[in-house]
Amino acid sequence: MARINKYLPILDDYGTRIKEEIRFALSLAEHEESNNWKNLILNTVNCLETEIKNGEAPDKAVKKAEEKLSEIGERASEYTIHYIAHAHIDMNWLWNLPDTVMTSYDTFSAMDDLMEEFQNFHFSQSQASTYKAMEEECPEMFETIKKRVENGNWEITASTWVEGDKNMGSGESQVRQILYAKNYFAEKFDIESGDLKLDWEPDTFGHPATTPKILQDAGIDYYYLHRPGDKRAVVPRLFNWRSSDGSEVLVWNDQKLTYNNHVREREVSEVLKFESETGIKEYMIVYDDGSPKGEEVRKIGGEIEGTKANSEVAILSPYEQRWSM
């Protein structure tokens, strides 16, 4: 990669593109234990270096390199990365309720702008309380959200009132979190209770063993978390979590990349590790798009388009594939 880095200023925007394609190709060659592919990649880098030294235009030099990598590209196209945009909004951590309402409004306004700019952009919001705040304090934004939900760009992932503490709350408290949220969305968005099947808990600091039973009794099949316990413990990224009574939910553990992740090209190769663990060729990367005016989506838009040559990348919602095994 050092040889590619040397030519990045010359290659302009094409530099990052070919660098990350070569990075993924190397990871795939290691994954497949293919010495032929490793030799092909080395030959491609040598040819790219020669083209640049001979004064070839960046776009043409990179295109020739990609053509040489086409054999690996065909294999790489079997993988899909799902980028999931969400915004974790603390209700009252270091601020009061008016600040929370304003943060929610600013975030949602930015997401609406992005939906105008990127037609396939999806955004997920997981706390019923933020919708209620918009309904009471910012009714125009509330109506905008309803329209975005209707056209499919806005995913309601809120099966609880807030992303609440799972440790201190009683079982009754957990059940009412779900009950109030489902009743609210049934009334305001005409969403059936059975359609809210995901409990999104990125910042919860503990997960009681009774959780699968509570969720299953409420018709919730999927659980997203980031803090599975001791950081030193190795917890699978995808697993079935079973309560003592046999109730199960399918869990996505985002311990490695975190819910507050920002998009980094090198993480595309995580799909290969995930395939080794599960046999699944699709991978989910969650990123927090609570950034001012949605800069994170604008930042990755060009990068995604630039890396689509050798891998399939999608800006989707957590419900798009439902983590099916």
Note whether 124 and 318 are within 8 A (CB). Answer: yes
Neighbours of 94 (CB within 10 A): 6
The pLDDT of residue 136 is above 90: yes
**pLDDT tens digits, residue range 46-103?**
999 999 889 988 889 999 999 999 999 889 989 988 888 888 899 988 889 999 999 9
Q: What is the model's pTM?
A: 0.86
**pLDDT tens digits, residue range 151-193?**
999 999 999 999 988 988 899 999 999 999 999 999 999 999 9
Model confidence band, residue 16 (pLDDT cutoffs 50, 70, 90): confident
**pLDDT (0 to 100) of residue 299:** 64
The identity of residue 109, as a single letter, is S
Strand order of the sheet with strand 238-242?
Answer: 198-201, 222-225, 248-253, 238-242
**Distance from CA of residue 228 to its chain's centroid?**
18
The identity of residue 150, as a single letter, is E
Q: What is 270-293 written as a DSSP string?
A: HHHHHHHHHS--EEEEEEE--SGG
> What are the structural domain ranges in the chain?
2-76, 80-316
**pLDDT tens digits, residue range 202-230?**
999 889 999 999 999 999 999 999 888 77
Task: Find the farthest-apart pair of alpha carbons in the chain and give their distance in angstroms, rounded.
Answer: 72
The pLDDT of residue 127 is above 60: yes
DSSP 269: G
**pLDDT tens digits, residue range 218-271?**
999 999 998 887 767 778 999 999 999 999 999 999 988 887 766 677 788 899
**pLDDT (0 to 100) of residue 139:** 98
Note whether 289 and 86 are within 8 A (CB). Answer: yes
Domain 80-316 class, CATH top level = alpha beta
Quote the tokens at residue 164.
Answer: 């609440």
**Distance from CA of residue 86 to its chain's centroid?**
8
